[in-house]
Amino acid sequence: MRHKPLHEQTIVITGASSGIGLATARMAAARGARVVLAARSAAALDEIAGSIVRAGGRAVAVGADVGERAEVEAVAARAVADFGGFDTWVNAAGLTVYGPLRAVSPEDHERLLRTNFWGTVNGALVAVAHLARRGGALINVGSVASDLAFPFQGMYSASKHAVKGFTDALRMELRHEGAPVSVTLIKPTSIDTPLPRRARNYMDREPMLPPPVYPPEEVAHAILHAAVHPTRDVFVGGAGKLFAAGKEFAPGAFDHLAPAIIALQKRPGRPRRPAGALHAPDAADTGHIRGDQPGYVMRTSAYTRASLHPVALAAGLGLAAASLVILGRGRSQS
């Protein structure tokens, strides 16, 4: 399956008002793509789209709650009206709740699933109805929590597990139909975005991300790679891949990490901000790509970059191995 070069594409991005979605929108526009931005924060989106246009890009903003199918359909309609359609759809909208599962209210559980799972379902099915006719890429942003469970983020983990199951099943059905649509699941590890500050929080302290932490631009790079080069799954951050592989071999050992994982999600010395942006946008955290994660944030992920170019990686490893063999023979003959 072949997709258009990025500069010839129109890309729809949900959750585009902050974090990964905003990083992807700005990076795509800088590389020449037309972008359609969707999020609940309509005013913030208008400003973001305006800044892209002032920089010479092409962008439109659509205020929408991805948990409502009709509003997602309106996003697709706007893309058709303004740009004649779209080539890639990125489901990047997401929220989380910190706290014990039994302490979180049913309303908060439902709202999280409405955004993370049903928002992805709505976006994917609306996108595929369009892409199946003209071809293109569907990219769902899952998480390392698609493969792992995290205490005190139980429903977030459940939603991302559900996104993985839905994405895998949809991919199989599209392949069975022969539809010219690639389906990619992006699985970020800890990413320095405003997500912890936007979370509904039941803990006694403000949440933070367990290290190692990677930059949101690394996720955006992986997303835009998949928009051009069909890719099934991408872990962003080698640590996520390592933990997921380790859990497969020793699930009981991972369970025993619960106390450490809970401790690493609590930020020292910061009182909690309980409400977050679960039920309504938080203007203070829109328009920002980065969060305020304490400690070191990785500049890139060597593992992710290598995984996006497996042929080049294999060739490089082969060349290195051949060089070692030649060097060893030279030494043995001297």
| Residue that is written with structure tokens 């890309």 in the block | 11
pLDDT attached to residue 148: 96
CA–CA dist 124, 214 (Å, integer): 26
pLDDT attached to residue 334: 53
Model confidence at 262: pLDDT above 90: yes
User: Among 98, 156, 202, 214, which one carries the catalytic annotation?
Assistant: 156
Model confidence at 333: pLDDT above 70: no
DSSP 141: E
pLDDT attached to residue 327: 53
156 has catalytic annotation: yes
Q: What would the mean pLDDT of 104-122 be, rounded to a whole number?
A: 98
Q: What would the mean pLDDT of 290-316 be, rounded to a whole number?
A: 82
DSSP 277: T
Q: Which residues are bridge partners to 61 per DSSP? A: 37
Q: What would the mean pLDDT of 58-67 be, rounded to a whole number?
A: 98
Q: What would the mean pLDDT of 178-203 be, rounded to a whole number?
A: 96
pLDDT attached to residue 286: 87
CA–CA dist 156, 117 (Å, integer): 9
3-state helix, strand, coil in the chain (%, to 5): 50, 15, 30
Under the banding of pLDDT at 50, 70 and 90, the label for residue 282 is: confident
pLDDT attached to residue 270: 75
